[in-house]
Amino acid sequence: MATDVSTYDIVPTALAVKAMRDNGYKNAAYAVAELMDNSIQAEASLVELLCADEEIVAEQRTRRRISQVAVLDNGTGMDSATLQRALQFGNGYWAETEQHEGMGRFGMGLPSASISQCRRVEVWSWQGNPEEALYSHIDLKRIEDGEMREVPTPEPRPLPDLWRDASASGFAESGTLVVWSLIDRCLWRTSKALIDNSEELIGRMYRYWIDRGAVRIRLASFMVNDPATMQSDIEARPNDPLYLMEHTSCPEPFTDKPMFRPFPSPEHHEETWKVRFRDEEHEVKVRLSIATEEARAQDPDDGRDAGSRPHGGHAKRNAGVSVVRAGRELELDLGWINTYDPRERWWGVEVSFDPGLDDLFGVSNNKQFARNFAEAAKIDAEALAKEHGGSITQARIALEEEGDPIGPLLDVIWYVERNIRTMRQQLKKQAEGRRRKRHSGKSPEERATEAVRRRQEEGHKGRSDAEEEKGSEERKAELTDQLERDGHDKKQAAELAAETIDRGLKYRIETSPLEAGAFFSVHSRGGVLLVTLDTEHPAYDLLLGAKDPAQLPDDVEQLKSKLRSAQEGLEMMLFAWARYEDEQVVAEKRRQAQNLRHDWGRMAESFLEVRDGANGA
């Protein structure tokens, strides 16, 4: 018996196209972005998202619903062969040439993105004369019925007047028009909803092109029977999750000025790595930023905290690590943030790379994810380094030898992790500075200063005392400089320095990650002793985790447990010192350690006497 071999295609056309409709586009805005990628890659200086609504009767009410969506550009256009390939799945320009220089990937963009939202996609493209535009299309019903197995050969067809009337500039000498109709999978039912939900995303994806004036992106909606009357008509503004750009979509007061500052400084907020992959060298760049003190300040009029103000809401929507490929953002990776901590919105990290590293980063064919890099968020790079003698380089080599795809990126991952931790600490420091209130009694800094003044009167001199003879402005400048290095922004550092010097204080407590294992460091600046506690040291959380009263548990038993932990932590610190003395096998070094203990004990006694006196007053 004869067999109809056509029923045994390895990839049955109708079933394959049906499966491709579920290819994972997050929503219509991401699908639209695929078309805009093509426009920008075709050197368009103007891209328009045009949305046509129609009125329908539903549930005995007249409602607006999306009827058609178009993306129109003034790019270079396509010839007949290129247009036909553009509508084939997996046979676009970038799949054919296997080049890795633009935004395209696998040639899947136009047809795949389109059928994820609609059942019919039509394309007009022209080079030199819009009246000679070539036309082709894909129709899912004809594919399902077995009537369409090939992309129709492009043929001349007039451009519809509907889109000419809706366009801001008409049809340029060259360009492409992609039209979706029979829209059945769009999450948003009206043009307004589609544009409202696309504006920030599109502004973020193409922020670099928009910011430098390389492309304008217009978003407009209208009724299908009145394309000349716009229901909404806006131009996408840059949406920078690092908040370092000016003139962006961020609400006032940061519309025309940066809301964040480069971290840790303008000179050192960018780092670049040379990554070797498949015998070629590529660059990976990381940029960092952190909120200014002004950005996190309360509203001066109604006292609202920054997170509940419009710019705070904007920052919340941009929280995450921005992954940028070929200058176009793929996604905001949320795996790096604690979604329950509102402070996560106040730092920014951007990781950018070229398309030659697509497979290393695990870029999906719809350019919405970098899967391998997302997995990196689960790695504790510092712990991994400790497993290899404290060397991040040795850890990377070990991963590469095991064939782990994260291996070549481990240095980048470690850098991102370390800086996110540091920025979190500095944001916490900002918050503590704003919450700082005067106690009913004297602060520890004031009592410690009294103890120093008494010792000075008794004839004891410290190296920092000579610095107090300098002028107050010089002292403030020195202290401000150190506080900036410790992570305060310039304005806050100047205010803290002025407060410390003007009150005649001898001490300031700071917190910051330190190196070399010390629990704290001591610096003398402007006659003030800065004692910086290492937030990464185990003793910090154990002994000082209750420094902020907001962190104290309300439950009595939990509070008792916290106090027991603090007592045990103090005992462990004393045991560590005892062992330190015990290991000084050379008699002279052991005597030096014992003398140091005795001297510090006597010093502590004189300081605690001031404290006891203050408590008893």
* Widest pairwise Cα distance in the chain: 115
pTM for this entry: 0.74
Write out pLDDT tens, residues 561-583.
777 777 777 777 777 778 888 88
- Average pLDDT rounded to a whole number, residues 203-208: 97
Q: Nearest 5°: CA angle at 95, between 118 and 132?
A: 60
291, 260 Cβ separation under 8 angstroms: yes
Residues 110, 88: Cα–Cα separation, whole Å? 9
Q: Output the CA angle 525-527-531, nearest 5 degrees.
A: 60
Query: 242: helix, coil or strand?
Result: coil
**Residue 598 structure tokens:** 């005795």
> What is the spatial distance between Cα 157 and Cα 136, in angstroms, rounded to a whole number?
9
Q: 551: buried, middle or exposed (CB in 10 Å: 19+, 13-18, 0-12)? A: exposed
CB 136 within 8 A of CB 82: no
> What domains can you pick out in the chain, each with its CATH number?
7-234 (3.30.565.10), 260-431 (no CATH), 444-616 (no CATH)
Q: What is the DSSP letter of 503?
A: T
How many CB atoms within 10 Å of residue 469? Answer: 8
Sign of the CA dihedral 305, 306, 308, 309?
positive
pLDDT 10s digits, 303-336: 788 989 999 999 999 999 999 999 999 999 999 9
Query: Quick check: 132 pLDDT over 50?
Result: yes
pLDDT at 287: 98
Of 170-184, 261-275, 437-451, 530-544, the range with the lowest mean pLDDT is 437-451
Average pLDDT, the chain: 85
Q: Residue 402's pLDDT is what?
A: 84
In this structure, what are the phi and psi dihedrals at residue 609, rounded to the nearest 5 degrees?
-65, -40
* Strand pairing class (528-534; 321-325): unpaired
Do residues 145 and 139 touch, judged by C-beta distance below 8 A? Answer: no
Q: 409-413 long-range CB contacts below 8 Å, 24 or more apart?
A: 409/275, 409/284, 409/360, 409/361, 409/372, 409/373, 409/376, 410/379, 410/381, 410/384, 411/273, 412/273, 412/275, 412/284, 412/286, 412/351, 413/376, 413/379, 413/381
Specify the pLDDT at position 99: 46
CA 412 to chain centre: 15
Task: Report phi then psi at 107, rounded to 5.
Answer: 65, 25
* Sign of the alpha-carbon torsion through 141, 147, 149, 152: negative
Q: pLDDT at position 438, please? A: 41
Amino acid code (one letter) for 118: C
Q: What is the pLDDT of residue 485?
A: 79
CB 215 within 8 A of CB 165: no
Q: How many residues does the chain have?
A: 617
Contact 468/527 with Cβ under 8 angstroms? yes
Burial of 250 (0-12, 13-18, 19+ CB in 10 A): buried
pLDDT value for 4: 47
User: Would you give the end-to-end CA distance of the chain in angstroms?
Assistant: 109
Quick one: which of 191, 156, 197 has its CA closest to 63? Answer: 191
Q: Where are the beta strands (DSSP E) in 83-192?
A: 118-127, 134-139, 155-156, 174-183
- How many helices and strands (H and E) does the chain possess? 21, 17
Percent of the chain with pLDDT over 90: 42
Contact between 226 and 266 under an 8 Å Cβ cutoff? The reply is no
